[in-house]
Each structure stands twice: as C-alpha cells, then as structure tokens.
C-alpha cells in the first residue's frame, strides 16, 4: 500500500495557491486599468446581489415630509421629490441593471452563437440568407433598434431584455461565423470526419469551444452596452416601469425639473451608470489583451 506524505502534499497545495495568487498579482500589475474595471464590476455585482442587506430603506417607500431632502445622515444621497431614499434606489437599481444586462447579453449571445455557428459551418444558401439578414439588422444602431422593439413590445422587465438582446445578435453571429469559417478547415475537424463523427457533433463539440475566447471579450463589452441601453430606454419611458428603481428612470424623473434645485437626483444615478459601464469596458479591454495569443509572452 502506498504511503502518503502529508507534509509534501500540503507543501504542493500551498505552492499551488501561492502561484495562483502570484498570477493574479502579475496580471493586476500588468493590466492596472483592467484591475480597476474588475473591482468596479465585482462591486457592482455584489451590490446587486446583496441589495436587500445594503439598502437601509425600502426603495419604493414614500415620505412626503422628506421630499427633496438634501444628502445627510437620514438620507445619505438625499431623497427624491416623493421622499424616496436615493441611496436605496440606486442600490436596488444595480440589481435591475445587472438583471437586464446579463439577461440581454446571455439571450443575444445564445441566439448569435447558434446562428453564427450554423451559418459558418453549413455555408451555402443558408449562410447567404443569414448574413443578409444580419446586414439588415446591423444597418440600424443598437439604441434605435432597441427603441423600435421596446415600443412594439411595451415597457416591462422581460420585454426590455428581449428588446436589447435582439440587436446584440448580429455582432455575436458575425464573430462566431468568422471563427467557424477558419476552424472548419483545421486538421482536427477533418480527423473527426474521418472517424465518422456527425457534422452537428463536430460543430458543437470541436468548433464551438474554440470560439469562446472572443465571445468572452465580446460578452463583457456587450454587458456595458446593454446596461447603457437599458438606462436610455428607461429615460425615454420605454424601459423598466414603476415601481422598479431604474437608474435611467431616476434621471428621466429629475433631469428636467430638479437639475438645478436638487442636483443630487441627477448626479448620483449618472455616476452609477458611468461607473458600471466604465468598469465593464475596462475589464473587456483587459480580457481582450489577456486572451489574445499575440499579446502573450
């Protein structure tokens, strides 16, 4: 029976942990802006997940006596015209933005991956018809197409996710298609065909995993775009309806009438939107450099 050296196993485990933390520290020093973005994204996610514990008050509770209260000990970031705590609304607004951003990015990514994989792998008339449809969809800016779909579907959380996800599909489909066109001619695909593996199995098992690196970078960038688009739709009254505390709706309710008398109603939701989008963009840029083989040393 083999004798296990527990001390050696503990040493190897400690070395493994230290090497992982060393890699994290190395990446943090090499990509400082990416580290800032990662911290902002982590704070954003933790705020959304633990919003019920962080927010001191109910974000929908009104108090007429606290209408337009200035920032202070009672209301850390002030109160809006209905006496609702701005800090609690911004904290819970992070949950709405994260739900819409992740939902739209995942839905658009799944549809785009399916379309791009079939288009690039099958080719022929299917590829031609699919790419012409993607051209038509990409001819409209993201916000314009989301506005059209949101107006047609109506304001709700689910409809907002769908309205933002559909315009994200063409970009994902293009990226997956371009990767698939180069991968389907690789020797490992020919070897899989030679052993009798089905075309669909080859596409899903061998081609799709090799497209994940650019998809991760694209998904991070699209998360920021989805958050910004949701804020824009809510600002125009076509996004998240009441009583959900959306950052864009907070700006819409306060920008025109209270921007001079109560600037905190505009400043703090604007800062929240800017930090969330800024963090995802910085993290996406860092991931692009890390996952790009040409940048590796």
Tell which residue, 118, 107, 126, has the closest CA to residue 168.
Answer: 107
Q: Which of 2-16, 79-93, 136-150, 223-237 has the lowest mean pLDDT?
A: 2-16
- Domains, the chain, in order of start with CATH, read 30-61+74-292 (1.10.3720.10)
43 — pLDDT class (breaks 50, 70, 90) = very high
pLDDT of 9 over the 50 cut: no
3 versus 222: which is more confidently predicted?
222
Tell which residue, 160, 276, 168, has the closest CA to residue 215.
Answer: 168
pLDDT in tens, 130-185: 888 888 888 888 888 888 888 888 888 888 999 999 999 999 999 888 888 777 77
- What is the rounded distance in angstroms from the CA atom of residue 258 to the CA atom of residue 129? 50
- What is the rounded distance in angstroms from the CA atom of residue 31 to the CA atom of residue 39? 12
Q: Residue 48 has which token pair?
A: 């959304």
Bridge partner list, 85: 79
Burial class of residue 291 (count of CB atoms within 10 Å of its CB; 0-12, 13-18, 19+) = middle
69 versus 27: which is more confidently predicted?
69
Q: What is the pLDDT at residue 3?
A: 47
16 — pLDDT class (breaks 50, 70, 90) = low
Q: What does the DSSP assignment read for 90-155?
A: HHHHHHHHHHHHHHHHHHHHHHHHHHHHHHHHH-HHHHHHHHHHHHHHHTS-HHHHHHHHHHHH-S
Q: What is the pLDDT at residue 166?
A: 92
pLDDT of 105 over the 70 cut: yes
Task: Give the residue-averaged pLDDT of 77-96.
Answer: 89
139 versus 296: which is more confidently predicted?
139
Q: What is the mean pLDDT of the chain?
A: 82
């Amino acid at each position: 029976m083999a004798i296990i050296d527990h001390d050696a196993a503990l040493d190897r485990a400690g070395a493994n942990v230290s090497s992982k933390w060393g890699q994290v520290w190395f990446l943090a020093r090499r990509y400082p802006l990416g580290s800032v973005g990662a911290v902002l994204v982590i704070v954003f996610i933790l705020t959304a997940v633990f919003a019920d514990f962080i927010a001191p008050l109910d974000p929908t509770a009104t108090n007429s006596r606290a209408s337009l209260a200035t920032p202070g000990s009672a209301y850390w970031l002030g109160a809006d015209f209905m006496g609702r705590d701005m800090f609690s609304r911004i904290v819970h607004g992070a949950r709405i933005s994260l739900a819409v951003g992740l939902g739209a990015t995942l839905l658009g990514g799944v549809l785009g991956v399916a379309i791009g994989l079939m288009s690039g792998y099958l080719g022929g008339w299917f590829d031609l018809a699919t790419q012409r449809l993607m051209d038509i969809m990409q001819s409209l800016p993201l916000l314009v197409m989301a506005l059209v779909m949101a107006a047609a579907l109506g304001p709700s959380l689910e409809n907002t996710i769908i309205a933002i996800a559909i315009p994200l599909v063409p970009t994902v489909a293009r990226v997956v298609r371009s990767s698939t066109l180069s991968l389907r001619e690789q020797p490992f695909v020919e070897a899989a065909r030679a052993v009798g593996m089905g075309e669909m199995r080859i596409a899903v098992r061998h081609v799709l995993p090799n497209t994940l690196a650019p998809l991760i970078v694209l998904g991070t960038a699209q998360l920021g775009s989805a958050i910004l688009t949701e804020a824009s739709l809510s600002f125009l009254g076509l996004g998240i309806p009441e009583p959900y505390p959306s950052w864009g709706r907070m700006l819409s309710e306060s920008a025109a009438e209270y921007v001079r008398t109560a600037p905190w109603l505009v400043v703090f939701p604007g800062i929240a939107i800017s930090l969330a989008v800024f963090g995802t963009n910085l993290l996406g840029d860092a991931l692009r450099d890390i996952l790009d083989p040409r940048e590796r040393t």
